[in-house]
Amino acid sequence: MTAKAGTAAPAPAGSRRLLRQLRDIMAGSGTAQARLDRIVRTIAAEMVAEVCSCYIMRPGEILELFATEGLKAAAVHVTRLRVGEGLVGEIAARRRPLALADARAHPNFAYRPETGEEAYSALMGVPLLRGERVLGVLVVQNKAQRQYHDEEIEALETIAMVVAELAASGELVSPDDLRQATGALLPARLEGVRFNPGVAVGTVVLHRRSSAVRTVVAEDPGAEQDRLSAAVTAMQADLDAMFAATELAAGGEHRDVLETYRMFAADQGWLRRIDEAIRSGLTAEAAVERVRIDSRLRMEQVRDPYLRERLADIEDLADRLLRYLTAPGSAQGRLAQQLPKDAVVIARTMGPAELLDYDRSRLKALVLEEGSPTAHVAIIARALDIPVVGRVAGVLSQAEPDDPIVVDAENAQVFLRPAQRTIAQVEDSLRARAARSETLSSLRGLPAKTRDGTAISLQINAGLLVDLDHLDETAADGIGLYRTEIHFMVRSSFPSVAAQTNLYRRILAKAGARPVVFRLLDAGGDKRLPYWADMQEENPALGWRALRVALDRPALMRQQMRALIEAADGGPLTILLPMVAEVAEFDAARSIMQRELDREARLGRPLPCPLRVGAMLEVPSLAFQLPALISRCDFLAIGSNDLSQFLFAADRGNPHVANRFDTLSPPFLSFLRRVVRHCEAAGRAVSVCGEMASHPLEAMALVGIGVRTLSMTPSAVLPVKAMVRSLDLTAVEPYLASLLDLPDRSLRERLRNFAVDRGVEL
């Protein structure tokens, strides 16, 4: 936003007086139109502007001039601008204030002769916001060219909150028009990104709109400050209680996420800004809302994902605090609203604690307009097994409370107000899925052997302690990839050696006799550590990440090794090195590890036995040093996610290119087959632990080129086992070999047809 963040306007008596006048007008007699006319006159007089106009959103994304002081009266209800058209349209489209010393010089200035506005130079306008929606635009204009100060813009934003109340009341335009103007009533299909798989049919609950601010202008700022501090104290106490009581209390990593959140609840900068807004004449809840809007606008401009998430946490806290102020005593300010039994919650972003507020038994899915799969809320949602679709552009402005909704996280799509037929279809497929999952669970105790008797080891990928519960549920053979970086990512500072040791010990205890492959810290790229500020890079995927960081900062790696060695306590330990690009890197890492082993031996501590060290094959260059690599490492793990992004030069996080190339293609499968053959010949174990292994069709191709160990997302284990048990290796191996020289972009269709013809379960 234009106004300086964090410097709320001083508390001018004028702004308080104006707010009081507006409140009296709002509460006074007369039609809504008459009150709006009085409001624009009062604002123009108090803000020393020749013009004050109010535009209201009409159906079809049209902004209609509803009231004006200063422009020609004949233009009222005649002048209409599309969203995006002219300066008023631009303010609505960008949902941001705009202040110009000479509006006529702006390229977007749209001249409307009926208004007579050519006489005015300076313009300052702000959107009328209600939740996420733009209800209109409030503008002041001056004849002389002048710069508006940040304080004036802030004052107009505060005033806009009062005017927005009138616009949202349904008195100026009918509630139906309002609904149509600000959101579609038609069915809509929206696409996003899959954060957590699953499908759900349910009813929309808008996360943000649970706490509309009713009273904007304060009678007594002192009393409002008291209300604020009582609410803050109650909120902090309840957060403590909630985090202690939640079903996630025991999970080490989740606690870190929650602790960070709690820290924000005591952030002095945030509380000070609210206090300043109260002193400018707002009620406590309006002040919280005011600061919330401020941080959301700032968030829209921040590109850094870490900072965005921090701002999102602050925004969520504002929501929580609003609930304490608007409904004191209602279940300690936790979500007072009655949730439907099939709630699908829609939010812009959400902090981790917000999700825990919802009754888990009624929460069917989560849809986020922003966010990332590594956002804290996504981590918590995964642990709770709630389907999540993220980055669904426009969902908040299109969804209405109580709308029916289908969330198809499998295909990263959301259906708003779907036709009854669509719902019936999805419910059918949900029933089929449930039946299939029952059939699948009967596979739990059966071996993962092909029809001709070859055993395939199926393991799971994990990153949170709760993931280990899936070992028993799926009867997987072990953990083929434990992403240790998740523990580092969800904290506010580096975990100590003791904290790491404790976590690794718990993992090993939970896994029991089943092997666990601990991948050393794979930070950087899209896996940012919140406390590691200097990781801004032009090309993060190709940058200073994973083993590169470890080799440059050996102390980090040594500490992690120390924790792992201590946790193993003389038992077996398997270590995997992420993103090895050349044999020299493997050697360098091995010698750092050796220094730590020597240190532990000197201290008389038991060394892990056996210690196995493997390399991840994610960077294509390593595949050209296979003999040297194989003679040094105990096993190879192919990270197909990174390997495919590097082999095809296609950023895995960029939606424009991420799906452009198929891993089921001759170049990718040939590459893998070459690696697998080398390992086979040398008797060296090799596994695939990227996403690819989690899809039955891809897994079939991997088995067909010789892979015998697959590590996957836990929910894939039983479906992949069903595929393995229905597969005949003697048929699939020669078939795949016959495909690898084809010039095709993808072998997907051929492989699918093969599976269908041969009765392979996909």
Residues that are catalytic:
376, 689
- Neighbour order of strands in the sheet with 404-408: 188-191, 413-416, 404-408, 199-206, 343-347, 363-368, 388-390, 193-196
Among Mg ion, ligand PEP, none, partner that 313 touches (CB below 5 to 8 angstroms by kind): none
Contacts with Mg ion: how many residues (CB under 5 A)? 2
689 lines the binding site for ligand PEP (CB under 6 A): yes
Which residue's CB is nearer to ligand PEP, number 127 or number 690? Answer: 690
Residue 335 or 577: the one with the smaller Cβ distance to ligand PEP is: 577
Cβ distance to ligand PEP smaller for residue 616 or 739: 616
What are the C-alpha distances in Å from 43 to residues 51, 88, 190, 490?
Answer: 9, 18, 40, 47
Which of Mg ion, ligand PEP, none binds 127 (CB below 5-8 Å, type-dependent)?
A: none
Stretch that binds Mg ion, among 147-155, 308-316, 534-542, 639-647 (CB under 5 A): 639-647
Binding mask 640-659 for Mg ion (x = CB under 5 A): --x-----------------
Quick one: DSSP state of residue 29? S
* Residue 689 touches which of Mg ion, ligand PEP, none (Cβ within 5-8 Å per kind): ligand PEP
Instruction: Find which of ligand PEP, Mg ion, none residue 662 binds, CB within 5 to 8 Å per kind.
Output: none
What is the enclosing helix (H) or strand (E) of 423?
Answer: helix 420-441
Interface mask (CB under 5 A) for Mg ion, residues 411-440, using x and -?
------------------------------
Do the beta carbons of residue 506 and residue 542 sit within 8 Å? no
Judged by CB under 5 A, does residue 639 bind Mg ion?
A: yes
Q: How far is the CB of 56 from ligand PEP (least distance, A)?
A: 49
| # residues near ligand PEP by CB under 6 A | 10
> How near is the Cβ of 535 to ligand PEP at its closest, in Å?
16
Binding mask 445-484 for ligand PEP (x = CB under 6 A): ------------------------------------x-x-
For Mg ion, the closer of residues 251 and 639 by Cβ is: 639
- Identify which of residues 120 and 482 has a Cβ nearer to ligand PEP in the complex: 482
C-beta of 373: minimal distance to Mg ion in Å?
Answer: 14
539 Cβ partners below 8 Å, 6+ apart?
A: none
| Residue placing its CB nearer to ligand PEP in the complex, 618 or 698 | 618
* CA distance linking residue 236 with residue 724, whole number of Å: 52
Helix (H) or strand (E) holding 129: strand 122-130
Which helix H or strand E contains 122, and what residues bound it?
A: strand 122-130
CA dist 26 → 39, 269, 677 (Å) = 8, 33, 78
Chain CA centroid to CA 316, Å: 13
Whichever of 256 and 691 has its CB closer to ligand PEP, that residue is 691
Site string for Mg ion, 595-634 (x = CB under 5 A): ----------------------------------------
Closest by CA position to 202, among listed 358, 24, 66:
358
- Angstrom distance (rounded) from CA 571 to CA 513: 11
Nearest to 520, CA basis, from 591, 609, 614 = 614
The three-state secondary structure class of 706 is: coil
CB of 692 to Mg ion, least distance (A): 12
Residue 720: both structure tokens together: 């992949």
Rounded to 5 degrees, what angle do the CA atoms 721, 722, 724 make?
60
Least distance between ligand PEP and beta carbon 374 (Å):
10
256 binds, among ligand PEP, Mg ion, none (CB under 5 to 8 A by kind): none
411 CB-near residues (< 8 Å, 6+ apart): 194
DSSP string over 489-550: HTSSSPPPHHHHHHHHHHHHHHHTTS-EEEE----BTTB--TT-TT---SSGGGSS-THHHH
Structure tokens at 443: 């596979």
Q: How many angstroms from the chain centroid is the CA of residue 203?
A: 21
- Work out what residue 392 binds among Mg ion, ligand PEP, none; the CB cut-off runs from 5 to 8 Å by kind: none
> Which of 253, 315, 618, 698 forms a contact with ligand PEP (CB under 6 A)?
618
Element (H, E) at 434: helix 420-441
For residue 689, the minimal CB distance to ligand PEP (Å) is 5
- Supply the minimum distance, in Å, between the C-beta of residue 639 and Mg ion: 4
Complex with ligand PEP: residue 69 or 691, whichever CB lies closer:
691
Query: What is the closest distance, in whole angstroms, from the C-beta atom of residue 168 to ligand PEP in the complex?
Result: 45
Which parts of 540-579 interact with ligand PEP (CB under 6 A)?
none
Q: Which residues pair with 367 in a beta bridge?
A: 346, 389
Q: Which residues are bridge partners to 82 per DSSP?
A: 62
Q: Between residues 228 and 692, which has the closer beta carbon with respect to ligand PEP?
A: 692
Alpha-carbon distance values, 169 to 57, 77, 162, 176, 337 (Å): 13, 19, 11, 12, 20
CB closer to ligand PEP out of 287 and 520: 520
Instruction: Indicate which single residue of 127, 690, 704, 719 sits in contact with ligand PEP (rule: CB under 6 A).
Output: 690
Q: Which does 739 bind (CB under 5 to 8 A by kind): ligand PEP, Mg ion, none?
A: none
- Tell me, residue by residue from 499 to 528, as one string, x for binding to ligand PEP by CB under 6 A and - for no binding: -----------------------x------
Contact map string, positions 631 to 660, toward ligand PEP, x by CB under 6 A: --------xxxx------------------
Q: In what order do the strands lie in the sheet with 62-69?
A: 80-82, 62-69, 51-58, 133-142, 122-130, 98-100
For the CB of residue 518, give the shortest distance to ligand PEP in the complex, in Å.
Answer: 13
Do 364 and 200 touch, CB atoms closer than 8 A?
yes
Region 696-725 residues binding ligand PEP, contact defined as CB under 6 A: none
Q: Residue 213 interacts with ligand PEP (CB under 6 A)? A: no
Find all residues with CB under 8 Å of 229, minimum gap 6, and list them. none
- To ligand PEP, the closest distance from the beta carbon of 527 in angstroms equals 7
**Nearest CA-CA partner of 619 in 634, 609, 629:** 629
Contact residues: Mg ion, CB under 5 A: 639, 642
Contact residues: ligand PEP, CB under 6 A: 481, 483, 522, 618, 639-642, 689-690
